[in-house]
Structure formats: C-alpha cells, structure tokens
Structure 1
C-alpha cells in the first residue's frame, strides 16, 4: 500500500477512529542538519534495549539512567505558547532551533513564547511545517547560546527499547518542571513511532528520548487507550531540515510497559508482608477501592470520597469484616476504617525515601502475584489546588449588600431558583456585606458541596440551599476531553496539599493501596487517578503525620459513627 492510499483510508475512516491531536510546540533546525558537540555522551545501556529486564538489578540500572537523563534534558525542554495554542518543544542546536509538532507551529513566521524549566521566558518565531508528518520547527530569536539536546537516529531504535517522554501535559504550570514518563517502543516505522508512554494535550512537540538522552521522536498525537501514543521520528526532521528551516509548509501523507513480562521481574520486590497489608474495601457489596492496613488491631487507611456505607473490608486471608468509619480527613481525602480483627500485618512505612523524577513506582494490588501498575515519578512532590465550586452569578456592591446582576443559564444558582436583583445577606450563616465576602465564602467549597444562602428579594427574606457545580467553559470541556483516561478518573482528583505524581495506570477503584520503590520500600499510597498521564501518591511522611488524628475519633463524621446495616 502506498502512502497516498493509506492517507485515503485514514480520511475515509477518520470518523470511527477517535484521535485526539495534542497541542504543543517547538522545533529545531538550521539551513542544514546541525553538526555540533552534544550535551550527552553515549553510554552503554545496562538493559538490552530490545528486551525486557531480566532481574531487579537491571531495573535499578534503568532507574538510574532515566533519572540522570531527565536531569540533563530538563534545561533543553521548553513550553511553547503561540496565541491560544500551548505545546512543548526541545532545543537541538546551540543557536536556538527547536523541534516541535507541526500542529503546534500552525503557520510560519508567527511570534511565540518559549518557557524554560526555571521559568525563564524568551521570544521565538515559528518556521516550517510538514503537515502530514506533523513535524514543525521554531527558532529562538534572542541571542544564545542555548542548552540543547542531541538528535539521535530513529531508524536504529528497536521495537521494545525503553524510552522516556518529556513535556508539559495540559500546558505549562508554574513551578512544575517538564514531566517525565517512561515506556517502551511498541512500533517503529518510517512515518511514526508508537509507545506506551502516556501523553495528553500540551505534550505535543515534546521529545521522546532513548536511554542515552538523544532525541528520537517528537510527540504528535494519541488515541483512546494509554498505550496508543504516537511520535514523529526524528529522522523526518533530519531529511526535511532545509525546507523546515526556510519556513515551508507542505503535505503528503502520514499514518498513523506495563507488560506481564516486566511486571513479573518486579514482583519479587514486593514483600509478602506488604502484600498482606492490602485489603479490598467493599461498599454495598461491591468492590469499591483498595485499603492499606496501618495498625495490627484492625486499622485500615483508604480513599474517603469513594466510600458509601455499608462498608466491609476483605482481608488478604479472605475474611470479609464489617468496617466502621473512625475518621475522615477531607483535605487529603483519607478515611480511617476499623474492623474487629487482631494481629494483622501493619504496613512498614519508609518516610525518608527520596522519590526523584525517573524513579520506579510500583503499585501493589489486592492478592495479585504481579504489581497492579508500574510507572515512574513524573514530577516532584507538590500541592494540587482544588477545583472551586461555581455558583454561576455576577454581583455588584450596593448599599443594601451584594446584588445579583446576572444568573448564568444552567448554573447552580439557576437550578436553585436564585433571581437577578436578589441581595445576598449570608452564606452558611456568615454575613456577607461585600461581594468579596460572597466570593470568598463560595470559593471554600468544591463542586457538589451545598451552601445555604440567605437572600432578600423585595420585601421577602429567603433561605435557599444551592448545590455548587464545576466550572463549565469551552476551554475547560476541551481540557477534560483531552485528559480522559481509558481506565476512568477518580471522583476526587484535586485539592491535595502534597502529592507525588507518577505515570502508572491505576484505575480509580484500585486507589488506596500502597506504592513501593525498586527496593521494596513503602513510600505512600495511591490517592487518585487524575488524568491520562498522572496518578497521585500521598507520601509516607505526610500520612504518618495524620495517623493520630484519624485514629483518635475526633475526625469521625457524625452520620457515620457506626456501620449501617440495611
């Protein structure tokens, strides 16, 4: 089949082949393929690149290599902003040529902004775009020299090789460096490379690198499953360098880790003691979420927002016992359960473990011989801000108090019967003399929370209960569409004071279980599946600081004091 014939087939079946084009940008090239001294020196890989590791020692070597290349590549990777388009890119020459995806570049000779990992911003210009290959080029217009990575040879990349994907998923976030993900080459063709490094919108244009730190591809697009991530081979940039550097735009055609074998290698890292600490939490007779035994007398830690009594816990010895909610820590979305059991194995926390980007994270399942999921730390521990609940009104200050000037269609306010002209007197019993008081009172709540408003409508005083809704804008809907995961997302996936992000694909119903590193040390528990590229861990040192309050009973929810039994 020729390239043209394949293109016709792709167009014919495009309506039934869901493809989400990512968005990013950065390209690199000069008038001829650059000849330069690279940042990286080729080192012999400890892992045969086309084979799965055979033992934990090889995985440990792989971990070291990945952590080192992430640190070295960080200065070369940029976020790209071109108007409303956001993407990623990688600088590949000292004078500032950067590779990116063609759909990030858009049109040639546009002004753009490039943001480095340390927050530095520089100006650039878009150059050429090879549309069907989705290859694009950008040039920094400010004086260099610039940190840069070496371009590898993609045709020499064997299927099965370990590779790392770096970029800015869902766009640049201040204080977050380029996020790393690890996977293997599933397919390598002249026109595309397919990997299981999970990507999402915003990653487009970021680099795919081999274990020597050389750029072998540029992120292009994704399909539904997290194993279908496509990259432009770097050889496409090499062979079309002159045209891209001249700003040409042209078309022809483009087609388009978590294996059991690898999981079996790391299975021995998980000790029998840790396996025995994992329980299945069941609500209304259904498997709902995992839990972790944290005390020998029946103390079990799990994810709070998934719980709905009656609750039972199925232990590793197959006993299923009724569970009581003893405490809920809303901010961390943690719940402490208590079952009537003695002499249970308690999880051995390792609170001082350093979890750097690139380090292995192994998620432990319930009564499984192999790990639930395998991934790497993608970004350092950080706060995840909460998504605020939205009332859906505009306000103005008046002598009588904050007056509602507009009620948005299909908003929480509209559903509750709030009308234009209403004066907001109180929110949850607290007086609100200014519009800022109303805003601050609402901002403390999340989507789905209820708030009580006291309103004045003409001569009447009304009390109305409102259930807040999430933000609903075209850009937010687009972001959510791009961030969909084939395994689903957690009901609560934000508002955490401190979490570690990793790329292991952990379904929401398997959060709550422990996570260990390559040495088998328990570094925390999975708390949320947050997106296509990310799962969050609450680290052990944070968990240990919360144990007393959760066990003491002072965080016990009044309505959940004892298990329900209907």
Structure 2
C-alpha cells in the first residue's frame, strides 16, 4: 500500500510536538527541583541559586507586608504583626508592657487604630495586643512549632526609627544562626524601632518577633514563635510570665557579659554555687547539662528552671582550654 504523504506529515508533527512537550516538562521539573533546593543548600552555589531565593522571597513579601504594623505608646514606638483576622497583634514584651494599656496600631497605609495590650513573657520578651475596632484584618500565618531550624533563610520586616509612610517598612534578609527554647538569633540586621516586628520564613510564615540587638548588629535576638504557641491562651487572657517565676529556682551566682567569645564571667557572688564549684572570673560558659548557653537570657532560664540543690554539669572555656565542672545550685539570697 502506498503511504499517504499527509499521514506521514501528521505523524512527524505529532512526534515533534510530543518530544517538545516532554523536553519542556523535563526542563520545567528540573528548574522546579533546582529552585526548591536553592534555599535549602548550606551555601548558594551560583547566581541561579541566588535568583531562585530572590524569586521565592518576592512571591511572599507583598502579602507579608500587609500585616506588619507600627505600635505606638506614649513617646515610644515599635513594630508588630497581625496574626488573626480579628486583630490579634504580636509584638515584643518590652513594647507591649503590662496588660491593659492603650496603644495605637499604625497600619501600612498610615491609618491609626486603637488597641489594648494583653499578656506576655518577660523571659522570652514576647507580647500581644488586640485591635479594638471590629473587622477582618489582613494577617500573616504563624509557623508551626519546630518548623524553623538553624540555617533556614528568613527575612525581617519592621519600622526602624518609627513609622514613615513615604518610606514604608524596611526588609532585610538573613538566616537563622541559633535557636533555643526562649531565644532565636539571626544575622538579619536590626535597628531601633524594629523591636516587636516579625521575622518570616520563605513561606511567608511568622517564625519570631524581634527582641533586641546583640553585641554585633548582624547577630540579633528574636522571641521564637514557639513562645507564643506555648502560652497562647494565657497571653490572650492578659496574663504575664515574669522573671520572679524563675527567681524561685536555682541560683548560680555569677555576673556575666555577652561578648564575641561567648557568655563571659565578670564577677562571682561570694560563697555562691559558682564560687564554691570552682568557676573563675573570665571563664566563658559554653553549656549547662549539654544545652548550649549563648546569652544571659538563656543562662537565666536554664538555671532558674532548676531547683536549689539540683546538680548541673557546666562546660567552660578557660583561656585556650575547655573543662567541665559539676556543682549543686544554690538558693537565691533574700
């Protein structure tokens, strides 16, 4: 039978179309895999990785900015983020202060609305407010507990220096460099006025709230979102977690300073657990019971969460040597 030339032409076109579609699908899949892996790599390997991270950030930034606010109280100002459609605002504990205070929330378009402060924690520096005006507010979702990990890319939003409508909020990108129960550290650069603002992952979820600037401006502290999950109902009810709650616990008896070396011992309380246990001035605390200690906050929490007479194992750096000391915690002096 003689072959139909029209049929041959159709078959050739069909084959070409199928090959083209297959090649496009493979290329698209490879591109998606490459992009997905870009922000999961320890270090971006090339320009394409950086562009993939940039594209991912741009895809969530616009929506994230809609929920970021300024918090004004008296002569002070900070930042915050709306996390529920009925107007719950997360901020830093030192911004919200005691429960029941009246504050102003400044929305991205410059509109000001009344709010009242709710509960918070002096330990993690977490705070909460509620917008009084009824309505459905734009909000950002909170990440689940444990989702953020060391090495994750993140971005910070806030109003450094206060709210300026023409300038708008400021965005900085970085990575999570340290995470513990009550503290999270990143290399996102923060300035005064950023306190209380949100830290986002690249899925547009809130993973922390800006707390304070460290010794270097590229290592900053945030209250992890876990501290809000853990005490959500208590905060909404206007309850506070104070340092007094931990002052009833164990007592080490050291004065410390956060340095680039770590948490350095400046002085010792005479006859305290630290003094009796062999800790010396200028020692650097590395860990307690295997839990790394990088800040005064972490030391306070770890020691205060234990009881007087509890035995702890402390890893120290003394000069160029590392050593381990086991001692019993004391009781805080009256």
Same fold by TM-score greater than 0.5: yes
CA distance in 1, matches of 2:39, 2:171: 21
Cα shift at 1:62? 0.7
Cα shift at 1:72? 1.2
Cα shift at 1:193? 0.8
Q: Residue in 2 aligned with 1:64?
A: 55
Tell me how many residue pairs correspond in the alignment. Answer: 213
Cα shift at 1:178? 1.4
* Residue in structure 2 matching 1:193, options 184, 190, 203: 184
CA distance in 2, matches of 1:215, 1:148: 10
What secondary structure is seen at the aligned counterpart in 2 of 1:191? Answer: coil
Cα shift at 1:224? 2.5
CA distance in 2, matches of 1:86, 1:173: 12
1:172 is the counterpart of 2:163? yes
Cα shift at 1:154? 5.0
Q: Residue in 1 aligned with 2:32?
A: none
What secondary structure is seen at the aligned counterpart in 2 of 1:66? Answer: helix
CA distance in 2, matches of 1:154, 1:189: 12
1:47 is the counterpart of 2:30? no
- Bigger mean CA offset, 230-239 vs 149-158: 149-158
What secondary structure is seen at the aligned counterpart in 1 of 2:38? Answer: coil
Q: Residue in 2 aligned with 1:101?
A: 92
Q: Residue in 1 aligned with 2:67?
A: 76
CA distance in 2, matches of 1:166, 1:48: 19
CA distance in 2, matches of 1:99, 1:45: 30
Extract unaligned runs of 5+ from structure 2.
1-34, 248-255, 259-334
1:223-251 Cα offsets, whole Å, 9 max, x none, are 23122200000010011011111111222
Q: Residue in 1 aligned with 2:136?
A: 145
Cα shift at 1:60? 0.2
What secondary structure is seen at the aligned counterpart in 2 of 1:68? Answer: helix
Q: Residue in 2 aligned with 1:239?
A: 230
CA distance in 1, matches of 2:37, 2:83: 26
Q: Residue in 2 aligned with 1:120?
A: 111
CA contact (8 A) 1:130 1:250 kept: yes
CA contact (8 A) 1:77 1:89 kept: yes
Cα shift at 1:206? 0.5
Cα shift at 1:210? 0.3
Q: Residue in 2 aligned with 1:89?
A: 80
CA distance in 1, matches of 2:152, 2:161: 26
CA distance in 2, matches of 1:145, 1:107: 26
- Bigger mean CA offset, 219-228 vs 162-171: 219-228
Q: Residue in 2 aligned with 1:134?
A: 125
Structure 1: 4+ residue segments shifted above 3 A: 252-256
1:420-477 Cα offsets, whole Å, 9 max, x none, are xxxxxxxxxxxxxxxxxxxxxxxxxxxxxxxxxxxxxxxxxxxxxxxxxxxxxxxxxx
CA distance in 2, matches of 1:64, 1:232: 27
Cα shift at 1:219? 0.2
CA contact (8 A) 1:50 1:161 kept: no
CA distance in 1, matches of 2:88, 2:72: 16
> Structure 2 matches for 1:194-213, cutoff 5 A?
194-213=185-204
CA distance in 1, matches of 2:93, 2:41: 29
CA distance in 1, matches of 2:137, 2:211: 24
What secondary structure is seen at the aligned counterpart in 2 of 1:242? Answer: helix
CA contact (8 A) 1:170 1:202 kept: yes
CA contact (8 A) 1:130 1:136 kept: yes
CA contact (8 A) 1:117 1:176 kept: no
Structure holding more helix per residue? 2
